[in-house]
Structure 1
Amino acid sequence: MNLVLTVLEIVAPVFLLAAIGFGWVKLGFEYRLEFVTRLSMTLAVPCLIFTALVNSTLEPSAITAVTLASLVAYIAVSIVTVIVVRLFRLHQGTFAAPLIFGNTGNLGLPLALFAFGEVGLEYAVVVFAVMAILSFTFGIWLVAGAGSFGKVLKEPLVWATVLGGLFLWQDWSLPRFADNTLSLIGQMAIPLMLITLGVAVARLSPGGVGRAIVLSALKLVICIGCAWVTADWFMLDHAAFGILVLQVATPVAVTSYMLAAKYGADADAVAGLVVVSTVMSIGALPLLLAVLL
């Protein structure tokens, strides 16, 4: 009973905030998705990542292990997913990237914080950064047939991770006023991301729901399996193990829909994956957390 209450305390704020965004749109209120997304990804999330790393109590060796484990886990997920896509004779440009990369930002970071505390958030930003770099290179190549490494270099969250890692490695600290300011900006990130997730889902027009149910279930199994084996192989500690599995297992991100629309893939099919996998995660992620805690 205590475990059930603990899991509910973790997931309830996450999905309630997303529900607020969903309800906001359905009630007809204005929500400037592009502006809020830009504010979040350009300012709030980089500040959250940077301050989490600067104030981290983790050993550099632990961060290195999680970085390598994240890379291996996503490589394993990519190999299995591409095989599944070809076996099902699906369009690789439409389905491969959404099934590989999950919502490690909007959903993964808040869940990591609520489930494992500040240490969990510190691990989660590392997984998030690895996913972001792979998504903007290999992910775009899967969708469009061409990578975009230059886009990675323009992403503030990547530089926030690099600078935060440098501060951590050199054991540097920020002046109190700067730390307080950046921390305050970073605190916007989690509620903004969750509400925006609800708004984005509410505005999607899903297609191929039956197929999306099957593929979302397969994504969950593949991601959990690959991440679990990888975390065990790297012998990660309890918190790092849980964070890696949780982050890799997050549902399809809304950014996958945006990339599909931009590069001419089947955006409606990807929208179906986003909606179905997000709804599925309402039941799946609490069960996964019950095992990981």
Structure 2
Amino acid sequence: MNLILTVLEIVAPVFLVAALGFGWVKLGFEYRIQFVTQLGVNVAVPCLIFTSLMKSQAEPGTLLSLTLAGLAAYGAITLVGWGLMCAAGLDLRTYLAPFIFGNTGNLGLPLALFAFGQSGLEHGIVILALTAILSFTLGLWLVAGKGSARRILREPMVWATLLGALFLWQGWETPDFLTDTIGLIGQMAIPLMLLTLGVAVARLTPGGVVTAVWLSVAKLILCTALGWGIGLTFGLTGVAFGVLVLQMATPVGISSYLLAEKFNADSASVAGFAVVSTLVSVVGLPIILAILL
């Protein structure tokens, strides 16, 4: 009973805030998702990443091991996903990128924070940054037939990660007034991401429901298993292991839908995949957390 209550205490704030965004749109209130997303991705999240890494108490070696494990996990998921799509006769441009890249930002970071505290947030940021870099290269190539190294260099999240890692490595800190300012801005990130997640799901129109259901279940099971296996292979323990598994298990990110829409893939099917996988995660992620805890 105590374990169930602990898991509910972790997941309830995440899904309740997302439900607030969902309900806000369904009640007909305005929510400028493009503005909020730009504010979050270009300002709030980079501030959160930088301050979290700069003040991190984690060993740099542990974060490096987590990064390498994350790369290996994404590589394994890509290969397994490719094989699954080919065996099922599914369109690779439509389904493979959403299968690979989970919602490590809007959903993964809050879960890592509530499940493992500040240390979980710091480790979760590593996987988020890795996801962002791979999405702009491998993800773009899978959907559009081309990657974008230049796009990476224009992303504030990437520079925030590099600067945060440098400050952590050198033991530097910004002046207190600047740290407090950046930290205050960064505190917007998680509520904004959760509200936006709910709004985005509310505005999606599900398509290809039957395919979305079995593929969502397969994604949850396979990505969790691969994250677990890679974590053990790389000798990760404690928070690093838990965050890797949790981040790999997150449902389809809304960014996958936006990519499909932009590059004329089957965006309706991706929308269905995103909605159904998010619903599946409402059941699946608490079970995974219960096992991890």
CA distance in 2, matches of 1:64, 1:238: 15
1:173 counterpart SS class: coil
* Matches for 1:5-24 after TM superposition, within 5 Å: 5-24=5-24
In structure 2, the residue matched to 1:247 is: 247
CA distance in 2, matches of 1:186, 1:5: 29
1:68 CA drift (Å) = 0.3
> For residue 266 of structure 1, what is the amino acid of its counterpart?
D
Q: List per-residue Cα deviations over 1:85-119 (Å, max 9, x = no partner).
A: 11111110000000000000000000000000000
In structure 1, the residue matched to 2:187 is: 187
In structure 1, the residue matched to 2:83 is: 83
1:220 and 2:220 aligned: yes
In structure 2, the residue matched to 1:60 is: 60
1:58 counterpart SS class: coil
Q: CA RMSD in A?
A: 0.5
* Matches for 1:76-155 after TM superposition, within 5 Å: 76-155=76-155
* Matches for 1:30-41 after TM superposition, within 5 Å: 30-41=30-41
Q: List per-residue Cα deviations over 1:195-226 (Å, max 9, x = no partner).
A: 00000000011101111000001111110111
1:160 and 2:170 aligned: no
> For residue 142 of structure 1, what is the amino acid of its counterpart?
L
2:206 counterpart SS class: coil
1:286 CA drift (Å) = 0.4
Structure 2 gap segments, 5+ residues each: none
> For residue 61 of structure 2, what is the amino acid of its counterpart?
S
1:30 CA drift (Å) = 0.3
* Matches for 1:188-207 after TM superposition, within 5 Å: 188-207=188-207
Q: List per-residue Cα deviations over 1:23-59 (Å, max 9, x = no partner).
A: 0000000000000000000000000000000000011
1:257 and 2:257 aligned: yes
In structure 2, the residue matched to 1:45 is: 45
* Matches for 1:263-282 after TM superposition, within 5 Å: 263-282=263-282
1:178 and 2:178 aligned: yes
Q: What TM-score results when the alignment is normalised by the length of structure 1?
A: 0.99
> For residue 113 of structure 2, what is the amino acid of its counterpart?
L
CA distance in 2, matches of 1:38, 1:129: 16
CA distance in 2, matches of 1:50, 1:193: 17
> For residue 190 of structure 1, what is the amino acid of its counterpart?
I
Aligned length: 293
> For residue 192 of structure 1, what is the amino acid of its counterpart?
L
1:255 counterpart SS class: helix
CA distance in 2, matches of 1:292, 1:50: 27
CA distance in 1, matches of 2:136, 2:116: 28
1:251 counterpart SS class: coil
2:216 counterpart SS class: helix
1:289 and 2:271 aligned: no
Q: Percent identity, aligned pairs only? A: 60
CA distance in 2, matches of 1:148, 1:112: 29
CA distance in 2, matches of 1:58, 1:292: 20
1:234 and 2:234 aligned: yes
> For residue 85 of structure 1, what is the amino acid of its counterpart?
M
In structure 2, the residue matched to 1:2 is: 2
Q: List per-residue Cα deviations over 1:112-131 (Å, max 9, x = no partner).
A: 00000000111000011111
1:149 CA drift (Å) = 1.2
